[in-house]
Structure 1
Amino acid sequence: FFRTHPSATIHNPTRVKLFKEFKWQRIAIILEAEEVFVTTAKDLEYQCKKAGIEVLTRVTFLSDPSDAVKSLARQDARIIVGIFYGGEARKVMCEAYKQNLYGKQYVWFLLGWYEDNWYLPVKGLNCTKEEMLKVVQGHFTTEAIILNRDNKQTVAGITAQQWLDKYHQRLNQNLGTSVRPEGYQEAPLAYDAIWAVALALNATMHKLKKRGIAIESFNYENKLISQEIQNSLRDTFFLGVSGEVKFTDEGDRIALTQIEQMVNGNYNLLGYYDTQDDNLSWASAPQWLETGSPPKDRTVIVEQLKTVSLSFFVTLNAIAAIGIIWSIGLICFNFKFRKFRYIQMSQPLSNYIMLVGCIGCLSSVILFGLDSQKINARDFTKLCHSRAVLLSISFSLFFGAMFTKVWFAYRLSTQLEQSSKSKQKVENAQVVLMISLFCLIDVAILTSWFIKSPMIRITEKLEQEDVDPNDENIKIVRRLERCDANLVWYCILFGYKGLLLLFGLFLAYETRSVKLKRLNDSRLVGMSIYNVVILCMITGPVSLVIVNHVDAHFAFIT
């Protein structure tokens, strides 16, 4: 069939043109569950796909649009096309006000054939006039031109304005000055439809007359005359009161689309779009709330890796470096004065091993401060394994050396006096054996761990943060980077270390009052074990709680 009323899909090329004009690459659609609107929405999706524009979502509602509007808010819809009747438009925009989907960050596209005051609240609408004025401010409408604005003579021999004056005169005579019947706005289309039929029939009569056929012989089974009428309608072209009247092969009206914008409660004409020539002509510039430029079509998410601050990283590494230098100095001191009786009585071998363990633990500070910004992300798994190996082995060397000291102090305090020379030889051998055993257990656990369930690099997204309080279009999402592994292996390793700490604590407590000439630093070692146990008990749980606070977490684990 043919119609002078433009198809509902005629708006879509204009919308897509505007999306491109304002550099919007993502839109959302909300529509009423009516067949005509579903068809329009599907066509808009198709047009957007051809233009490379993403349709974020298409939400449909029957009578209550609240859930649909909430869905738009959840999905960060910024450029929203609404396709529904005027009554539902009030409900949608009222709900948009409640969901804060209006203002400088949002642009709504609505249908242009509503009454000019369609947004005024009616009974049952839970929004005031002021609220509705706020939410509809700045929205765009698209509408096929219904009344020709040119002062040109139409096919009827009068201008569009003269026709409108006559139309109003007839309405005033029959209905009164303030009464406008339903379909009032579409009257020019109906008038031109009659002219289109008349011109098509007239053209058909001339064609049939040449073939000796009278149009009066038409019936619904006469395909020849029907086809001639259709051909004449397709060829129809004239200037009517609604503008130029011409049809596509499918019978749809070809018409200019008018673009308007709501400003302070009134519609301002922005321009026209000719789909045939792909020509967008502006009559006035759009007005953008506050910013003076089109808003973004989405919240721009900037991902940032949450890392240890450089100053903090350098500070702690400097402290660790001082500790390493101090440890090396103590090793040199022990070696230089190794023949002194006082040094010999403090188990120098244990001292060497303990200081090497200290150097390893302090060196791990560097590894725990590294991240994928400082090294290649592909090497992060190696970094995870290196951290575990270095810290675990170094801890076994450091704490194992102290453990052997209190262990021998405990044995000496509970055994009979033995030969000093033989005891010293046994102690050195046992020191190496015991610490080697601790390290072998570490190696066994870590090797099994890395073979069966190696660590991997994972990133967790934290809360969004505003870059600028005045610009809500850009937000930062912090990413937390960490090594992830099966919890079982952590439990095995920490369980083993925990037992070692508890046993060392027990031995330190048992030897708290022991005074031995052969181990002149046993009480100091016991105090050191107390400190290590207390610090491990504090830093372990706290570091798990503050894992999202990178600097604090780095400080606790190092």
Structure 2
Amino acid sequence: MWIKSIQYTFVMVTILLRISDSVGQTLTSEMYTFSTILNIIEEDSTQFTTYRPAYDKTSEGAATATAQYEDNNDGDVIDLNLMGFFPVTGESFSRGKSYYIAADMALRDVNARTDVLGGYRLQLNWRNTQCNAGIGTKSLFTFINSSTTYIMVLGTGCSVVAEPVSMAADLWNLLQVSYGASNPALSNRKKYKSFFRTCASDTIFNYARLAMIRLFGWKKVATLHENQELFSTSINRFGSLLSEANITLITSESFAIDPAEQIRNLKETEAWIIFGNFYENMARRVFCEVYKEGLYGRNYAWFLLGWYKPRWWEEPDDSISCTPEQLFKAVEGYFSTEDLPLSVHPEDVTVSGLTPNEYQASYLNYSAREGSDDINNLASYAYDAVWSIALALNKSIQLLEKDANNTTPQKLSEFTYGNAKMRNVFMKAMETIEFKGISGPVSFTKTGDREGLIGLRQMQGGEDVSIGRYEPQTDTLTLDGYAPIIWQGGSPPKDSILNKYSSKHISSTYFYIFTILSSFGVVLVTICAMFLIWYWKRDLIQKCTPVFHLVFLVGCTLLYLAIIMFSLDGGRIAIDSLATWCTIRAWVLAVGFSCAYGVLFSKIYRAHSVYTSKLNPWMPGSHCGHMIKTVLFCLVFDVIVLVVWMVRFPMEVVIEETDSILDTYTNIRTISQVEFCTKGTSSYFVAVFYVFNGLLLLLGSFLSYETRDLKILNLNDTFLNGIAIYVILTLSIVCASLSYILEQEPELAYVIIASLTWLATTMSVLLMFVPKVISLRGTFDIRNLFETKSDEQVFEEEADTETKLRYRIADVDRTIEKLKKQIARNVKFGTYASMPGACSVWCCGHHVGCTLVAGGGRRADISADTHVLKNARAGHDNNAYVPDDDIVIRSEEQTVDETGKVIGRVRVEEAIFTSSIVGETTTTNFTCETFENGVNEHDDTTHL
């Protein structure tokens, strides 16, 4: 017993060293295998199972083979024993019974042939690996340490078992032929030196999947796989194929136990074409989460492996919370790739003497008699695997006989686990055999792979339906002659959400509406201008500064044009010229607003100046100069900003994505785009315009309120001017706010902003001109009804006595204040500040610098002011005073007694004049008081 324990220990260490060299083997698998091998020395009462059910063949040739098989049993034959590994039960994969039935059918057919392995009989002893690497490795050592010598290994059905078994079997010079291990890693001849398989490698599945991707024109796919070497290796190679084919792999998700998070990631990344590699038990977990997240239906295409049980979603599974009905909704329509189970020529006779159709009938009959509900079409690969072993051993007989180095040819029955030479013969024979198998042509490459046909199937109504095949030798995908593909949406789903871009433009309806309204506005402005010019000489028109009204009308015309220009977007003009149009309309809008509102503001600002300076509103002096300055200030500021803007930072069209709408029925997302001309740096200049003109609007409103009761004859429309400013302010605030709020809805923004702009402009025009038309309505047929009167004439005719006296007193007060300031300035700076000269500078309403002396020449500083009588002016010599300014003030007052009775009238005339002479300035006051019954004249005191 201790000798056997030493042997087991040696084998265990050797196997673990070989496994540790495997790049893809995980530490967990190694430790599990290690713990399993430690129990290998324990006796297992079920170490061997020989299963030989009755085999009834249906064809005439098969019946003959059965008779031959019985005859051979009576003769002297040598048994050649095969190890069999079948996953009859297991958590991840359990279809071994179907494979065994096919293998036993092949054994009986081989043993019935006298031309194959004549004198030998194949025997199969098998064990249930449960698709578990540790159990499979333990089974291998159980076989090896039995009293029976095995010549080859049949199986296994799972890659996780095939990998350690193959590496271990090679230590005893055993060849392994698998019928179901598809891991691409098994193609590595340095690690798996004696491994062959009649099924295709998963790498071939990748090529078939790639052919499907190309067929349907998909450019974006995703993968989901179980964290096993079998699946990881295949998915990694699939990713390389996608990269070479310029197909985007959106995401590659892997999971160990719970795929919920990975399914959510697929949903978040908007993966629509998904390729999954996982075992059957994990497939139920995956599609339970798929059902919960809604990743199924018309917009999705799932590709899975094809070796699951029929109606695998109906298997009881306590690890999921979904019902079979819910799983069926999620899996309906999925595609699978699998080895093509039967030859594409089902009526051709194969090496076994059966046609594929005959094999299929016999297999179904055999399974039914044994009560097996595991009908697996891929069982044909186990049938061909047995024939591959038989034909390779049969060819090895000939090779051993031809071996010149052997004086005595070896027999197959003389094989031992230490006979490496015979193993090499088996390898050579296996690599060179070719035959027609049930699953199609069978041959092996140098890496032990079979390049078989790949079948494509689709889940339709709960059943796997064959829809095509893939031939890797020619890279050909064939769908003709198979069942049509059924798409839940009527057509192949898109590989991702199709983004459809739609530019938001102003509709033609609104364009025409506001073009008509703006044209009406231009006509209205034209009529007002003609009215203004026709009645230019009327006193009413002259008193309202008609020149500025024309400027106002020009600004309104530009605003109407701006309304039309704002409707010209990418829907009507080329996108390349849109920036130019944006520049033009910015100029039109800015200049138009400066002209229109600048006139209104200049009027109200002038009225407020008259009000605060206490000037006589009847005779305030000329308004033209003050108003020109204000209008030019507004206009020049806007022009400077525009020039800097357009020269330094020219406009560029920026297209931005706004909202999006996903149509889940067509899987199309409509993304709206908006064209902007005022994004980026331009936004700062727009802000400057808003701030500057906004302050002017607020100031104009304040000034309008302050002067609401002021009546100025030469500005006879001040009140209506203020009303127009209120209207513009209110609508401008609304307009500016909505322009930002609705910037992503250009059509709605245009309708509102254009309406407000048109309303503000039209109301301003009507407020300024309708009252004038009404005032002149009775005299339209008379062009020159009145001659324009001077301010003095109007004041004398229309002002009452009290008003005249009040303003004359105010004039005297202002004159006195003016003279006091002049005197103080003369005392401090000399007479150079008395009047402007050639070298003076005008700044902020004052003249600063040198002045010219009245009468010629420059003056020295003066230190005194002299007041003399008015009559002293008459007879001055060369040193006499030269008058600089004369002011005459007249007033009349009533004299009343204590009872309030008027007893007389007093008329006062006061003359103030200033004269200049070198070295002194004289100011003279003369007062004359006239009573009702006479005149009393006296001279005022003269101050030096």
TM > 0.5 fold call? yes
2:641 maps to 445
Matched ranges for 1:152-191 at <5 A: 152-158=348-354, 177-178=371-372, 187-191=379-383
Matched ranges for 1:278-289 at <5 A: 278=476, 280-289=478-487
- Summarize the Cα distance change of 1:320–1:28 in structure 2 as closer, same or farther, 3 Å threshold: same
Whether the aligned pair in 1 keeps the contact of 2:659 and 2:671 (CA below 8 Å) is: yes
**CA distance in 2: counterparts of 1:485 and 1:363, whole angstroms:** 26
Q: CA deviation at 1:508?
A: 0.5
**CA distance in 1: counterparts of 2:508 and 2:575, whole angstroms:** 18
Identity %: 31
Q: Secondary structure at the match of 1:108?
A: strand
- Summarize the Cα distance change of 1:520–1:53 in structure 2 as closer, same or farther, 3 Å threshold: same
Match of 2:602 among 397, 401, 404: 404
Q: Report whether the alignment pairs 1:128 with 2:323.
A: yes
**CA distance in 1: counterparts of 2:505 and 2:317, whole angstroms:** 55
1:429 partner letter: G
Q: CA deviation at 1:208?
A: 5.4
**CA distance in 2: counterparts of 1:466 and 1:256, whole angstroms:** 41
2:298 maps to 104
**CA distance in 2: counterparts of 1:376 and 1:38, whole angstroms:** 53
- TM-superposition CA deviations, 1:33-82 (whole Å, max 9, x none): 22222222233334445555443433222322223222322333332221
1:115 maps to 309
Q: Report whether the alignment pairs 1:235 with 2:432.
A: yes
Q: CA deviation at 1:162?
A: 6.4
2:514 maps to 316
Q: Secondary structure at the match of 1:423?
A: coil
1:493 partner letter: F
2:92 maps to none
Match of 1:259 among 441, 456, 463: 456
- Summarize the Cα distance change of 1:112–1:519 in structure 2 as closer, same or farther, 3 Å threshold: same
1:316 partner letter: F
1:377 maps to 575
- Summarize the Cα distance change of 1:223–1:344 in structure 2 as closer, same or farther, 3 Å threshold: farther
Match of 1:30 among 221, 224, 227: 224
Match of 1:248 among 445, 468, 490: 445
1:357 maps to 555
1:7 maps to 201
* More displaced stretch, 441-450 vs 210-219: 210-219
2:741 maps to 545
**CA distance in 2: counterparts of 1:221 and 1:442, whole angstroms:** 101
Q: CA deviation at 1:228?
A: 5.8
Q: Secondary structure at the match of 2:653?
A: strand
1:12 partner letter: N
Whether the aligned pair in 2 keeps the contact of 1:137 and 1:262 (CA below 8 Å) is: yes
Q: Report whether the alignment pairs 1:144 with 2:342.
A: no
Whether the aligned pair in 2 keeps the contact of 1:349 and 1:428 (CA below 8 Å) is: no
**CA distance in 2: counterparts of 1:138 and 1:179, whole angstroms:** 24
Q: Report whether the alignment pairs 1:203 with 2:395.
A: yes
Question: Per residue, is there more helix in 1 or in 2?
Answer: 1
TM-score by length of 2: 0.54
- TM-superposition CA deviations, 1:490-513 (whole Å, max 9, x none): 433222112111111111001111
Q: Report whether the alignment pairs 1:475 with 2:674.
A: no
**CA distance in 1: counterparts of 2:593 and 2:384, whole angstroms:** 93
**CA distance in 2: counterparts of 1:552 and 1:170, whole angstroms:** 76
* More displaced stretch, 437-446 vs 53-62: 53-62
Q: CA deviation at 1:295?
A: 3.2
Q: Report whether the alignment pairs 1:297 with 2:505.
A: no
Long gaps (5+) in structure 2? 1-194, 755-944
Q: Report whether the alignment pairs 1:493 with 2:689.
A: yes
Q: Report whether the alignment pairs 1:270 with 2:270.
A: no
Q: CA deviation at 1:531?
A: 0.5
**CA distance in 2: counterparts of 1:118 and 1:345, whole angstroms:** 99
1:557 maps to 753
1:213 maps to 405
* More displaced stretch, 479-488 vs 223-232: 223-232
Q: Report whether the alignment pairs 1:78 with 2:276.
A: no
Whether the aligned pair in 1 keeps the contact of 2:738 and 2:753 (CA below 8 Å) is: no
1:417 maps to 616
**CA distance in 1: counterparts of 2:594 and 2:496, whole angstroms:** 53
Whether the aligned pair in 2 keeps the contact of 1:299 and 1:472 (CA below 8 Å) is: no
**CA distance in 1: counterparts of 2:618 and 2:366, whole angstroms:** 132
* More displaced stretch, 320-329 vs 35-44: 35-44
* More displaced stretch, 214-223 vs 458-467: 214-223
Whether the aligned pair in 2 keeps the contact of 1:261 and 1:286 (CA below 8 Å) is: no
**CA distance in 1: counterparts of 2:752 and 2:460, whole angstroms:** 58
Whether the aligned pair in 2 keeps the contact of 1:269 and 1:283 (CA below 8 Å) is: no
**CA distance in 2: counterparts of 1:447 and 1:231, whole angstroms:** 89
1:332 maps to 530
Whether the aligned pair in 1 keeps the contact of 2:304 and 2:334 (CA below 8 Å) is: yes
Q: Secondary structure at the match of 1:213?
A: coil
- Summarize the Cα distance change of 1:401–1:114 in structure 2 as closer, same or farther, 3 Å threshold: same
1:42 maps to 236
Whether the aligned pair in 1 keeps the contact of 2:536 and 2:546 (CA below 8 Å) is: yes
Whether the aligned pair in 1 keeps the contact of 2:661 and 2:669 (CA below 8 Å) is: yes
- TM-superposition CA deviations, 1:77-118 (whole Å, max 9, x none): 332221111112112212222222222222211111011121
1:445 partner letter: V
Q: Secondary structure at the match of 2:624?
A: helix
Q: Secondary structure at the match of 1:413?
A: helix
1:416 partner letter: L
Q: CA deviation at 1:389?
A: 2.7
* More displaced stretch, 516-525 vs 450-459: 450-459
1:341 maps to 539
Q: CA deviation at 1:533?
A: 0.8
**CA distance in 1: counterparts of 2:477 and 2:723, whole angstroms:** 86
Q: CA deviation at 1:218?
A: 9.1
1:458 maps to 654
Whether the aligned pair in 2 keeps the contact of 1:140 and 1:261 (CA below 8 Å) is: yes
Q: CA deviation at 1:205?
A: 4.8
1:526 partner letter: G
Q: CA deviation at 1:156?
A: 3.6
Q: CA deviation at 1:437?
A: 1.2
Q: CA deviation at 1:189?
A: 3.0
Whether the aligned pair in 2 keeps the contact of 1:133 and 1:264 (CA below 8 Å) is: no
Long gaps (5+) in structure 1? none
Whether the aligned pair in 2 keeps the contact of 1:350 and 1:404 (CA below 8 Å) is: no
1:394 maps to 592
Q: CA deviation at 1:365?
A: 1.2
Whether the aligned pair in 2 keeps the contact of 1:353 and 1:397 (CA below 8 Å) is: yes
- Summarize the Cα distance change of 1:528–1:274 in structure 2 as closer, same or farther, 3 Å threshold: same
* More displaced stretch, 153-162 vs 364-373: 153-162
Q: CA deviation at 1:229?
A: 4.7
- Summarize the Cα distance change of 1:489–1:16 in structure 2 as closer, same or farther, 3 Å threshold: same
- TM-superposition CA deviations, 1:243-298 (whole Å, max 9, x none): 32112333211111122221221212223332224251544333424544333333
Q: Report whether the alignment pairs 1:192 with 2:391.
A: no
**CA distance in 2: counterparts of 1:30 and 1:479, whole angstroms:** 35
Whether the aligned pair in 1 keeps the contact of 2:467 and 2:485 (CA below 8 Å) is: no
* More displaced stretch, 79-88 vs 235-244: 235-244
Q: Report whether the alignment pairs 1:518 with 2:714.
A: yes
Q: Secondary structure at the match of 1:303?
A: strand
How many aligned positions are there? 549
Q: Secondary structure at the match of 2:307?
A: coil
CA RMSD of aligned residues (A): 3.2
Q: Secondary structure at the match of 1:481?
A: strand
Q: CA deviation at 1:372?
A: 2.1
